[in-house]
Amino acid sequence: MIHTIIKKNSYQDSINLMLLTNAVSSIEGVNKVQIMMGTPANKDIFKDAGLYTEDLATAESNDMAIVIDTEDESKVDEVLEKADQYLKDQSISGGSEAFETVRTWDRATKALPDANLALISVPGQYAAEEAHKALDLGMHTFLFSDNVPMDDEVALKQKAHEKGLLVMGPDCGTGILDGIPMAFANVVKKGRIGVVGASGTGIQEVTAIIDRLGEGVSHAIGTGGRDLKEPVGAITMMDGIKALENHAQTDIIVIISKPPAKEVRNEVVELLHGLSKPVVTIFLGEKPTKHEGNIYQAYTLEETARIAVDLARDKEIKKNYADGDYTVEHAELAEGQKTIKGLFSGGTLASEAAVLISDALGLGSEITNVDGYVLKENGHEVVDLGDDKYTQGKPHPMIDPETRAKFIEKAAEDESTAVIVLDYVLGYGSHEDMASALMPSIEKAVATAKENGRTLHVVASVCGTDNDPQSYQGHRDRLKEAGIIVKDSNNEAVRTAMNIVGLQVEDPEKELVPYEASKQFDLSVSEEIKSLLNNKPTIINVGLKSFTDAITAYGGRVVQYDWRPIAGGNEKMRKILSLLK
Amino acid sequence: MKYNSIDEANKAVVEKIVNSAPFLVDVVPAKSKIKELNEGKVILHAGPPIQWDDMTGPMQGSCIGASLFEGWYEDADSAEKALANGEVTFIPCHHVNAVGPMGGITTANMPVFVVENRTDGNEAYCIMNEGIGKVLRFGAYSEEVVNRLKWMQDVLGPTLSKALKLTDDGMNLNVMIAKAITMGDEFHQRNIAASLIFMKEISPFIVQLDMDEKDMKDVIQFLADTDQFFLNIAMATGKAVMDGARKIEEGTVVTAMCRNGKDFGIRISGMGDQWFTAPVNTPQGLFFTGYSQDDANPDIGDSAITETFGVGGMAMIAAPGVTRFVGAGGFNDALSTSNEMMEICMDQNSNFTIPTWDFQGACLGIDARKVVETGIEPVINTGIAHKEAGVGQVGAGTVRAPKECFEKALEAYAEKLGLI
């Protein structure tokens, strides 16, 4: 029996509601439950889940819809009670906070008149509008929101560039600004390495390794994954690079990018050649054979971090950083066990795995993406479980173990599977203990394989630092105790997995060759950008309240803007309001 | 539009509010100021226009009481019949420069405060507070109620009128409000400080009057007993100030909010006298022993003019003493209430600084656009009437102004400006 409860005008953020759905799903006697705002898109998700009802049709965008499938009517009240308690606890925990909470830009700017950065995490269809407002108020913008149309991204970045501002994003998952972890980010020591990255977990992996090797990061500026695509033309990356060039405390610049558009990439590289500082680049999917001028070209994220650290320490740059021990002794394999299943929460980590395996298979290093599968060759599979395909109406796999647990169990049933590769991404925003959350399904998978006479190997890396909210060492220990092979980086984990099935990649010896820069660039930046890099940012957090935790913990000043759709999502009133300006 | 933008028009409106100079100058029979009351049997009521059949219990009870007070009918039954037969004309207080609490029922011979807004030269009127218990404004019409009204007509009103005439200039209400807001009043739920200030100011003049000693003692005793006496003065003040401000005739500042038990009505500066209405909500709050939420009458009264003016629920933070009436969270709830109300206001009124709010000024100028944009509905502190006539007040709490009123107002204004 399906029960529908509509709570009129009670807007909650979608992530809150997903976590809430998780919390109430565990109630015994409840077959299925889904709690979402009654937007048209969400109604489709209800339909897909077989939870669409006539009552649901009446729900509007600002109404919270709770649909419960249970045979026991008394469970409905239990769910409602638990939901109310959950939401109440959330509002009470806001009782004595170190920051003000507001509901309008007006109040936000009054509460924090010197705010210079807006951290925006509102639903995608509203994100561009809010970002425009932030830019119009003269603020740099960190746009965590995804599903922002390309046209909007271009318009925002052009406007920002003209105003001397930075737009980090859209779909910018991470960043570090003067030691403050932004959105999903690790707690990384401050230091002399500056990062600009068009890749979320790429930045996390590189900065976390830098930290673990004992060096630190001045700033890590995320650009959003499409910045190096043709229409955008790397506006943010180029401005970010110039910003770091002008930043006195940055000595080394690291560039991380998912596969870029070729011309845009070349333009960025030309700019980099014109800098006074040494640069380490990684364009995922490229396998460089040399270093050129001031640019050191890396193949893996680990190599990127290690070159940067060696540069920071004035050490000689090695010709080859693929010097780890990737062997596994006595790796038992049954007949037919020969494939790798890479199940990743981090998109760039998945891509890195795909590049390595594809390279080892002799298929080149180009990355494709079909339904989140960044590799599907000869039975080998690498999936980015953070892809849109798997996050519609569900929390990201860094927050929620459910989707990945299912993939692990499925991989174990596949007789060809020899090894599963996993990433554990720690830091602000991520699950508090993913090691434990995924453990039951890993144990089950290993046991299933064993019952069928197979040894299933699991290799993992932990992307984290000692100062992360979760325990880095604790994660590693917990995984090792469970018989999982734990490596120091994703690169090592993937190479180790390949070793088990007898695959390996060749790494060229890279010589440093001179380079004659052919193009002159104006390297100056605006006062606004200088000020952003020379101070701790002062932030208006528009949307997800949990992002304020890291900001306040690392000395940033912040005002929380509890954002809701304008006029409750009422399109007619929204239009009238825009006319009555 | 003579302004370059709506923001500019709104600024002109709030400037008028800040610069207003309301003075309490007299207490007179309503009919001497409101000519409509001299034209047959006329009853003024709270809220936007309403007819007898749509009135809730308390308002109907008040009409019966007022008819008996005026001596129009022999008894309650015949009064009720006549009222139901349409023998009496109903006019909203707001249409005749007046405001009235709860039922807002005002007739020719009831004494009213006269508040003069000296910057714009306009006046506003409000009947006097009758105290608590069985009172007309909550729909009671027993002999006790009518007798008290007679005494107010014969003794209290004339005494205050004479005393006020002994003052140089009337009473400067901005000064009294500024003082009382630092003493914990928000002028809707709590008026005890302002009532004391009023008594302190008026007593030296009352004792100079040549009048019956018992009457004088009764007047002083009544003022001493009536904690909410200043509420009606605050209402007339709000009305005088907002009527002055709405002479700007442009913009989206809310210039009146009122309720008749059925509909909530608002006006905005750009739409003149036009009402924008939506069904009222029912207040939530604490109830006297023996009563519950089920007994509550839907929202009623013109007293929301105090919130329109920026005090009342908008200034919840000023009155820690009554926050328990409006929510269990006490001071922090009051703080978040006032902070939330700032989201929908233009500015803060530096005339009325609130110590418990770090001396920030009271809310100033509700912008209907901000109400619609944020969905934050203005909060109103209110007494709660029993839904049956004559039972009286059964509790106190808060209620929200329905946002549909604001949506309608904006739509009409956009039409008027030719934008849609």
In whole angstroms, give the CA distance from residue A99 to residue A112: 10
Contacts of A572 in chain B (CB under 8 A): 411
- Closest chain A residue to the Cα of B376, Cα to Cα: A103
Residue B240 domain-assigned (yes or no): no
Q: B413, A566: Cβ pair inside 8 Å?
A: no
When pLDDT is cut at 50, 70 and 90, the band that residue B326 belongs to is low
Q: Nearest by CB to A567, from B332, B339, B372: name it.
A: B372
A100 against B67, higher pLDDT: B67
Find the residue in B nearest to A569 (Cα).
B373
* pLDDT over 70 at A108, yes or no: yes
Q: Which of residues 293-322 of A touch B (CB under 8 A)?
A: none
The whole-number pLDDT of residue A357 equals 97
| pLDDT for residue B337 is more than 60 | yes
Chain B residues near residue A107 by CB distance under 8 angstroms? 342-343
Residues B66 and B213 in one domain: yes
Q: Per-residue pLDDT for B68 more than 50?
A: yes
Domain that holds residue B328: 249-416
Tell me which of A213-227, A565-579, B63-77, B270-284 is least confident: A565-579
Q: Distance between CA atoms of A375 and A387, rounded to whole angstroms?
A: 13
- Closest residue to B370, CB basis, from A62, A104, A575: A104
Residues in B touching A560 (Cβ below 8 Å) = none
- Please indicate, yes or no, if residue B17 is contained in any of the structural domains: no
| CA–CA min distance A130, chain B (Å) | 13
Identify the band that residue A93 occupies on the pLDDT scale cut at 50, 70 and 90: very low
Q: What is the mean pLDDT of residues A458-483?
A: 97
Q: How many Å apart are CA B416 and CA B32, to the nearest integer? A: 37
Residue among B6, B374, B413 minimizing CB distance to A104: B374
How close A542 gets to chain B, by Cα (Å)?
14
| Shared domain check, B255 and B152 | no
Query: Considering CB atoms only, which of A103, A566, A581 is closest to B343?
Result: A103
The predicted pLDDT at position A368 comes to 86
Nearest to A103 among B376, B410, B420 (CB): B376
Q: Which pLDDT value is given to residue B332?
A: 85
3-state helix/strand/coil string of B237-270: HHHHHHHHHHHHCCCCEEEEEEEECCEEEEEEHH
Q: Residue B292 maps to which CATH number?
A: 3.90.1700.10
What CATH number did the domain enclosing B33 receive? 3.90.1710.10
Interatomic CA distance for residues A63 and A57, integer angstroms:
11
Cα(B261)–Cα(B278) distance, integer angstroms: 11
Q: Specify the fold of A339-500.
A: Rossmann fold (3.40.50)
pLDDT at A90: 63
The 10s digit of each residue's pLDDT in B198-255 is: 999 999 999 999 999 999 999 999 999 999 999 999 999 999 999 999 999 999 999 9
Does residue A26 surpass a pLDDT of 80?
no
Nearest CA in chain B to A581: B6
Question: Domain boundary at B205, B233, B261, which?
Answer: B233
Q: Is the pLDDT of residue A94 over 50?
A: no
A480 touches chain B (CB under 8 A): no
pLDDT one-digit tens code per residue, B152-203: 999 999 999 999 999 989 999 999 999 999 999 999 999 999 999 999 999 9
Question: Which of B343, B375, B411 lies nearest to residue A107, judging by beta carbons?
Answer: B343
CATH superfamily to which A172-322+507-526 belongs: Succinyl-CoA synthetase domains (3.40.50.261)
Instruction: Please tell me the distance in Å from B182's CA to the nearest CA on chain A.
Output: 23
Per-residue tokens: B316: 């919840």
| Burial (0-12, 13-18, 19+ Cβ within 10 Å), B178 | middle
B/e letters for A299-330, b = 16+ CB within 10 Å, e = fewer, are bbbbbbbbbbbbbbeeeeeeeebbeeebeeee
A14: left (phi over 0), alpha (psi -120 to 50) or beta: alpha
Reading the block at residue B99, the tokens are 């405001």
Residues of B at the A interface (Cβ-Cβ below 8 Å)? 5-6, 252, 332, 339-340, 342-343, 369-370, 372-376, 407, 410-411, 413-414, 417, 419-420
Nearest to A467 by CA among A554, A555, A347, A346: A554
* Lowest mean pLDDT, pick from A51-60, A197-206, B154-163: A51-60
C-alpha of A181 from chain center: 13
**Nearest CA to CA, how far is A106 from chain B (Å)?**
8
Determine contact, residues B227/B299, Cβ cutoff 8 Å.
Answer: no
Inspect the interface and report whether the beta carbons of A104 and B419 lie closer than 8 Å: no
Per-residue pLDDT tens for B29-39?
999 999 999 99
Measure in Å the smallest separation between the Cα of A158 and chain B Cα atoms: 28
Q: Note the pLDDT tens digit of each residue in B78-113.
A: 999 999 999 999 999 999 999 999 999 999 999 999
| Shortest Cα distance, chain A CAs vs residue B243, angstroms | 23
Q: What is the number of CB-based contacts under 8 A between chain A and chain B? A: 57
Contacts of B375 in chain A (CB under 8 A): 9, 62, 564, 567-568
The whole-angstrom distance between B287's CA and the closest CA on chain A is: 24
Quickly state the pLDDT bin for A91 (edges 50, 70, 90).
Answer: low
Partners of residue B333 on adjacent β-strands: none
Q: Kindly state the average pLDDT of the residues A528-534.
A: 97
Contact A573 B370 (CB under 8 A): no
Count of domains observed in chain B:
2
pLDDT band of residue A96 (cuts 50, 70, 90) is low
Put simply, the answer to whether B369 touches A567 (Cβ < 8 Å) is no
Q: Contact at 8 Å (CB) between B9 and B1?
A: yes
- A88 in reach of chain B (CB within 8 A): no
Closest CA to A321 of A488, A150, A462: A488
- Residues 6 or more apart in contact with residue B200 via CB below 8 angstroms: none
CA-based nearest residue to A46, from A56, A59, A58, A60: A56
Task: Give the H/E segment covering residue A506.
Answer: none
- Set of chain A residues whose Cβ sits within 8 Å of the Cβ of B374: 103-104, 564
Secondary-structure breakdown of chain B: helix, strand, coil percentages, each rounded to the nearest 5: 45, 20, 30
A262 vs A258, A268, A271, A294, A353, CA distance in Å? 12, 10, 14, 20, 22
Contacts of B340 in chain A (CB under 8 A): 103
Q: Is there a contact between A579 and B419 if contact means CB atoms under 8 Å apart?
A: yes
Option in A100, A107, A577 nearest B369 (CB): A577
Q: Nearest CA to CA, how far is B388 from chain A (Å)?
A: 30
**In the structure encoding, which two tokens stand for residue A416, read together?**
């060809």
Neighboring chain B residues of A104 at a CB cutoff of 8 Å = 343, 370, 373-374
| Minimum distance, in Å, between the CA of residue B1 and any CA atom of chain A | 13
Confirm or reject contact between A58 and chain B (CB < 8 A).
no
Do both B201 and B288 map to the same domain? no
Cβ neighbors of B8 (< 8 A, separation 6 or more) are none
pLDDT top residue among B290 and B70: B70
d(CA B360, CA B341): 13
Question: Whose CA is closest to A83, among A40, A27, A44?
Answer: A27
Task: Count the Cβ atoms, other than its own, within 10 Å of residue A11.
Answer: 18
Task: Tell me the C-alpha distance between A367 and A329, whole Å.
Answer: 31
For residue A95, name the pLDDT band (cuts at 50, 70, 90): very low
Choose one of B200, B233, B266: the last residue of a domain: B233
The confidence band for B328, taking pLDDT boundaries of 50, 70 and 90, is low
Best residue in A8, A580, A581 for a mutation probing chain B (most B CBs within 10 Å): A580
What is the average pLDDT across A420-426? 98
Q: What is the mean pLDDT of chain A?
A: 93
Is B83 within 8 Å of B64 (Cβ atoms)? yes
What are B68's two structure tokens? 């008996």
pLDDT above 90: residue B48: yes
CB proximity under 8 Å: A 101-120 to B: 101-104, 106-107
Is residue B31 located within the same domain as residue B145?
yes
The percent of residues above 70 in pLDDT, for chain A, comes to 98
Q: Which CATH number fits domain A98-171+537-581: 3.30.200.210, 3.40.50.720, 3.40.1190.20, 3.40.630.30?
A: 3.40.50.720
Residue finishing a domain among B181, B198, B233: B233
A577 to B372: CB separation less than 8 angstroms, yes or no? yes
Q: Are residues B228 and B289 in the same domain?
A: no
Judge: A567–B5 Cβ closer than 8 Å, yes or no: no
Residue B3, domain member (yes or no):
no
Dig out the tokens for B383 from the structure.
């007494």
Q: Identify which of B234, B67, B40 has the alpha carbon closest to the alpha carbon of residue B145.
A: B67
**What residues in A contact B6, CB-CB < 8 Å?**
580-581
Residue among B6, B343, B410 whose CB faces A104 most closely: B343
B96 in the same domain as B150: yes
Least confident piece of the model among A72-81, A263-272, B354-363 = A72-81
CB-closest option in B252, B343, B375 to A580: B252
